[in-house]
Structure 1
């Protein structure tokens, strides 16, 4: 079992950096995630830290998609950091061995789930960057890893209506653009790859 959570922590660091860099007046900005604002999106990813803590302890998992802004009342960055700290504290060796349900894949040890979970904060980091006018270039190694995960889990998520249909990536697109297109995210002109 892989115990290296470096990619997971790097993806969380990337998301946290974008939260910290978001202008204070940007939390009502629309995101590429349908009807969600930047605050909703931040709440969804923050809720994911509560979800991981619940999986680690065997508690009922919270719904992170219904009214996600409830996870980040007031100071968004402080709510995120608190949730992240609590989640990290729950990741004991025993918790990392705990089997957790994974849609379409059965059960996996939590440590392996976290390896694939990189996709969630990474792609939502891009969403947040677009919404708040920040740089949208993602870590290439994390993109590569996340794309492999996306290809494994996309079918059941699409069947449940939780993932948009794929878009056609431009010819010669880089891997980040191909990943985002696969996940149904249209590329704003300002983030399209340069020729």
Structure 2
């Protein structure tokens, strides 16, 4: 149940959606730092991922996004960062963030075409796709480890605006790795509406 790596583009992003992306990256690091050793084997809302697996996946996604932003290949980065020792995720994340910042702080990345498995998209659109990826998996990790992140409105705005274009309510399953939409009240917090659309139960 990965977030958006195999899903259609959410459509045009705003003029510069990187503010939300940078905040999402920061929040992942904070959440990884809050994982305790006794939680590594705990299950997450993504049934195929333990806390350990999801932590390794998040590191891999950040590395992949850095490679993509620099014009590299999606497939050059493995799905899980198997080189990271248990408990080192936050440290490795902080180091990987330096490389990510160097690539994604360049405004030219917004117009650069990045090559995703379903086709190329501008960096501006890729930024929204991966903000969504990080937000959903941060929620998964927080849920599994009893954390309560602070969900910044700028971080959630673009994913929330594009979620129904990115992943329609039907079909789900198979090539669309999400469960059925979980209905939440229209006045529910933004994070609840976002995760509910992607099949999580807030």
Q: TM-score, normalised by structure 2?
A: 0.76
Check the 8 A contact 1:180/1:186 in 2, yes or no: yes
Alpha-carbon separation, structure 2, partners of 1:95 and 1:81: 21
Q: Which residue of structure 2 lines up, in the alignment, with residue 192 of structure 1? A: none
Check the 8 A contact 1:28/1:39 in 2, yes or no: yes
1:113-152 to structure 2, matched below 5 A, reads 113-152=126-165
Structure 2: which 5+ residue stretches go unaligned? 1-13
1:58 aligns with 2:71: yes
Distance apart, 1:162 and its partner CA? 2.1
Q: Which of residues 99, 108, 114 in structure 2 aligns to 1:100? A: 114
Alpha-carbon separation, structure 1, partners of 2:47 and 2:78: 12
Check the 8 A contact 2:111/2:123 in 1, yes or no: yes
1:5-154 to structure 2, matched below 5 A, reads 5-62=18-75, 66=79, 68=80, 70=82, 72-74=84-86, 75-91=88-104, 92-101=106-115, 107-154=120-167
Check the 8 A contact 1:44/1:64 in 2, yes or no: no
Check the 8 A contact 2:74/2:117 in 1, yes or no: no
Check the 8 A contact 1:166/1:182 in 2, yes or no: yes
Task: Give the 3 Å change call, closer, same or farther, for CA 167–115 of structure 1 in structure 2.
Answer: closer
Alpha-carbon separation, structure 2, partners of 1:176 and 1:141: 12
Task: Give the 3 Å change call, closer, same or farther, for CA 18–34 of structure 1 in structure 2.
Answer: same
| Higher normalized helix content (fraction of residues) | 1
Task: Give the 3 Å change call, closer, same or farther, for CA 168–110 of structure 1 in structure 2.
Answer: same
Could you say what secondary structure the match of 1:118 adopts?
helix
Distance apart, 1:148 and its partner CA? 1.6
Q: Which of residues 178, 184, 190 in structure 1 aligns to 2:193? A: 178
Higher relative contact order (CA 8 A, sep 6+): 2
RMSD: 2.9
Distance apart, 1:117 and its partner CA? 2.2
Could you say what secondary structure the match of 1:145 adopts?
helix
Q: Which residue of structure 2 lines up, in the alignment, with residue 169 of structure 1? A: 184
CA offsets, 1:113-161, max 9 Å, x none? 2134211111211111111111155223423322123222114994623
More displaced, 178-187 or 49-58?
Answer: 49-58
Alpha-carbon separation, structure 2, partners of 1:178 and 1:186: 10
Alpha-carbon separation, structure 2, partners of 1:80 and 1:42: 10
